[in-house]
């Protein structure tokens, strides 16, 4: 009787654990048809209605390339803030960069500003506890998001991967960078990672603040209201931006957004991502694009990577893509951490989302989308520069893998929902 009860309890616990490790089921049952082209105004209208905010006009967007540009711009925004600082990140580690951010945030809290820092519990595990203590003592509100305990097992696998910094509710940053020395520098060596981050000023900053406020409410029970957090915003530029966030209430929105964009492609798809482990639907959507003559280029890390298991799991799925003419290139100088999708030189998506199950259907993410040829042209230029520092990976390379490599790639692919 006791053994049976224990077995039943273990079975229930195992089912709960497995259920929470797997991504939510996909809504789509087959690839989307190429019914709306990328330059069709109805596509912009539909995506604005279906996924996140509508396209908000009046924004300026600045691309910050590598830590040499990213960190000074973010720190300047912190130091020049007058009322509030909202900061959410997946990675906050240790070292010079981590110390510099802790000092800047602490200084503003001592000035009397509202300084709120939200750290993913998993991503910030390597963080030096002394940094949190220092910020707390200065008056910074530092909160760990979804800490793991017995009563949060149902949320164990749902993390915030958003990377948001908002100053005074007016100026926002998002992209791929984490707070760590690995991102410092200018991608000149393997110790200086390659990444993009984006500075956004204008009415869309309110949507970034809202994304932060959603998670702050969940973590603390405090609802952010009023002019300090949501001031009246006036146009600052010519770019219309759509803010898309995934959350427990809309877990698959990133996946649906990507599939819709890929289905609209008529000429080209460019994808830059540090973690490319495409699910069956993503692969099918890319193959459909190739069948209608779309050029598909995918730029990923080479041997310089922080997760070799991801590279192996990814490689397992490349065969049918390479056979169809998808071009895959591996960045050589250092670890490549950029996250970028460009369709037909008109639609661009930037932010925190990778091309894998975890990002598309498990994590809470935040992306900014543009239907803007100027924005797309600037990102294509950066993409092509990175492509020039990359090595093409061919079908012959894939076929030449040893038996051991093929087996280990397959084995790694079984873990794809968790990497």
Question: Which among 116, 163, 197, 316 is annotated as catalytic?
Answer: 163
In residues, how long is the chain?
419
- Active-site annotation holder among 44, 116, 161, 316: 161
Largest CA distance in the chain: 71
* Active-site option among 120, 168, 364, 372: 168
* Calpha distance 215→317 (Å, rounded): 34
How far is CA 320 from its chain centroid?
A: 26
Our answer to whether residue 312 is catalytic in this structure is: no
Helices 96-110 and 66-80, packing angle to 10 deg: 10
Q: Helix, strand or coil for residue 171? A: strand
279 is catalytic: no
Angstrom CA distances, 329 to 121, 193, 298, 326, stand at 33, 17, 6, 10
Dist CA 379 CA 61 (whole Å):
11
Residue 161 annotated to the active site: yes
Question: Active-site residue among 120, 279, 344, 364?
Answer: 344
| Catalytic entry in 116, 197, 337, 372 | 337
Instruction: Give 359's contacts (C-beta < 8 A, 6+ positions apart).
Output: 161, 254, 275, 352, 353, 365
Catalytic, 168? Answer yes
Bridge partners, 345 (sequence order): none
356 catalytic residue (yes or no):
no
Note whether 230 and 257 are within 8 A (CB): no
Scored b (16 or more CB within 10 A) or e, 236-270 reads bbebbbbbbbbbeeebbbbbbbbbbbbbbbbbbbb
Q: Is 163 a catalytic residue?
A: yes
Give the strand pairing for 56-65 and 239-245: antiparallel
Q: Dump the DSSP string for 341-353.
A: EEETTTEEEEES-
- Of residues 339, 357, 364, 409, which has the active-site annotation? 339
Residue 413 Cα distances to 20, 22, 106, 277, 360, angstroms: 19, 14, 43, 8, 16
Residues annotated as part of the active site: 161, 163, 168, 337, 339, 344
């Amino acid at each position: 009787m006791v053994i049976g009860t224990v077995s039943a309890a273990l079975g229930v616990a195992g089912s709960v654990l497995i259920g929470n490790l797997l991504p939510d089921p996909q809504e789509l049952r087959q690839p989307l048809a190429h019914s709306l082209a990328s330059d069709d105004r109805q596509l912009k209208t539909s995506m604005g209605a279906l996924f996140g905010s509508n396209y908000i006009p009046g924004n300026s967007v600045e691309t910050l390339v590598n830590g040499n540009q990213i960190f000074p711009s973010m720190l300047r925004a912190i130091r020049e803030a007058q009322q509030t600082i909202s900061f959410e990140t997946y990675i906050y580690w240790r070292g010079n960069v981590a110390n510099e951010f802790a000092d800047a945030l602490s200084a503003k809290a001592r000035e009397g500003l509202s300084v709120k820092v939200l750290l993913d519990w998993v991503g910030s595990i390597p963080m030096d506890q002394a940094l949190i203590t220092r910020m707390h003592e200065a008056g910074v509100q530092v909160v760990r998001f979804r800490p793991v305990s017995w009563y949060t097992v149902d949320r164990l696998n749902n993390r915030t991967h958003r990377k948001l910094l908002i100053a005074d509710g007016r100026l926002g940053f998002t992209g791929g960078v984490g707070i760590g020395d690995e991102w410092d520098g200018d991608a000149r060596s393997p110790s200086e990672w390659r990444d993009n981050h984006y500075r956004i000023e204008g009415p869309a900053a309110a949507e970034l603040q809202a994304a932060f406020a959603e998670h702050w409410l969940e973590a603390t029970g405090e609802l952010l209201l009023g002019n300090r957090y949501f001031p009246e915003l006036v146009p600052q530029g010519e770019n219309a931006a759509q803010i898309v966030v995934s959350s427990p209430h809309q877990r698959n929105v990133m996946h649906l957004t990507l599939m819709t964009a890929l289905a609209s492609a008529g000429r080209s798809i460019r994808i830059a991502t540090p973690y490319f482990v495409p699910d069956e639907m993503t692969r099918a959507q890319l193959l459909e694009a190739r069948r209608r003559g779309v050029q598909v280029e995918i730029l990923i890390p080479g041997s310089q990577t922080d997760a070799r298991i991801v590279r192996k799991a990814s490689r397992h799925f490349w065969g049918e893509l390479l056979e169809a003419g998808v071009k895959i290139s591996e960045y050589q100088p250092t670890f490549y951490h950029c996250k970028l999708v460009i369709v037909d030189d008109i639609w661009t998506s930037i932010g925190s989302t990778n091309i894998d199950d975890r990002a598309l259907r498990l994590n809470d993410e935040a992306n900014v989308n543009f239907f803007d040829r100027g924005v797309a042209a600037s990102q294509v230029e950066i993409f092509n520069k990175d492509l020039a520092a990359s090595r093409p990976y061919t079908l012959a390379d894939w076929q030449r893998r040893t038996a051991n490599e093929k087996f280990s790639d397959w084995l790694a692919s079984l873990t794809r929902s968790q990497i």
